[in-house]
Amino acid sequence: MLKNKKKYVLKIIKIFKSNPLEFVCPLKFSSPFELLVAVVLSAQCTDKRVNKITKNLFKRYKNIKDYANADIFELESYIISSGFFRNKAKNIIESAKLIISLYNGIVPNTMFELLKLPGVARKTANVVLSFAFNVIEGIVVDTHVIRIANLLHLTEHVNPVKIEKDLMNIVPRIHWKIFSFYIQNLGRTICKAKNPNHIICPLNKICHLKN
């Protein structure tokens, strides 16, 4: 069963590579901490909305010390449209203070250290490691990956940690970053939750849902 899934994944990757995409992070940032902030804001919020928020946010708070010293109510006013803004503002400020006290103001580049930060789970850590440091310790599992990995029968779980473990077992490590990137893009543009377009989907010949 595992062997068959590995072969299936290689087919998927081959198809993805035949349809090249511009391989860039959808979140705009100019430093590792700005990326961390953007990913924290992206929980239950679209990348498009986050980029709109951070356009003004990053002008107001220019470095990690600005966030550490931020008035929480002012910070909340900048990120309110991201949803769950109170928890996000609290986590951003506490993360800034922790990074300053533990890591001399430098965002750590290991999964172990990033997971110590408030509000940072594996998805957030994987994005920061991948796009800020080009360090690959796992597979980014967001809502698109959760849904499409299940549609493709690559996992039977809904828990992101369990899904990541399943994918790491069948996706060659060299492809961890690109696999997640392509799945996310597929979910945003073609295999949408409410109206998937099977006709133009690059995976329509091997997808279990093809009509």
Higher pLDDT, 35 or 211: 35
Domain assignment present for residue 196? The answer is no
- Tell me what the mean pLDDT of segment 15-40 comes to: 90
Same domain, 71 and 123: yes
Give the domain extent around 176: 2-23+138-189
Task: Please indicate, yes or no, whether residues 72 and 146 belong to a single structural domain of this protein.
Answer: no
Question: In the annotation, is 142 catalytic?
Answer: yes
The answer on 108 and 52 residing in a single domain is yes
- Mark whether 55 and 76 lie in a shared domain: yes
Annotated catalytic residue: which of 5, 142, 166, 177?
142
Last residue of a domain, one of 118, 133, 148: 133
Is 198 among the domain residues? no
**Same domain, residue pair 92 and 127:** yes
Number of compact structural domains in the chain = 2
Is there a single domain that holds both residue 125 and residue 143?
no
Q: Is residue 106 a part of any domain in this protein?
A: yes
Q: Kindly state whether residues 163 and 125 are assigned to the same domain.
A: no
CATH number for the domain spanning 74: value is: 1.10.340.30
What is residue 211's predicted lDDT score, i.e. its pLDDT? 42
Is the domain of 55 the same as that of 127? yes
46 and 89 housed in the same domain: yes
- In a domain? residue 59: yes
pTM recorded for the entire structure: 0.91
Q: What is the mean pLDDT of residues 139-154?
A: 94
Tell me the per-residue pLDDT of 96-115, one tens digit each, with 9 for 90 and over: 999 999 999 999 999 999 99
- Residue where one domain finishes, among candidates 133, 152, 175: 133
Residue of 47, 123, 166, 177 marked active site: 123
Q: Is the domain of 120 the same as that of 161? A: no
Instruction: Assess whether 123 carries a catalytic annotation.
Output: yes
Show the 3-state SS of the chain: CHHHHHHHHHHHHHHHHCCCCCCCCCCCCCCHHHHHHHHHHCCCCCHHHHHHHHHHHHHHCCCHHHHHCCCHHHHHHHHHHHCCHHHHHHHHHHHHHHHHHHHCCCCCCCHHHHCCCCCCCHHHHHHHHHHHHCCCCCCCCCHHHHHHHHHCCCCCCCCHHHHHHHHHHHCCHHHHHHHHHHHHHHHHHCCCCCCCCCCCCCCCCCCCCCC
In this structure, the answer to whether residues 100 and 172 fall within a common structural domain is: no
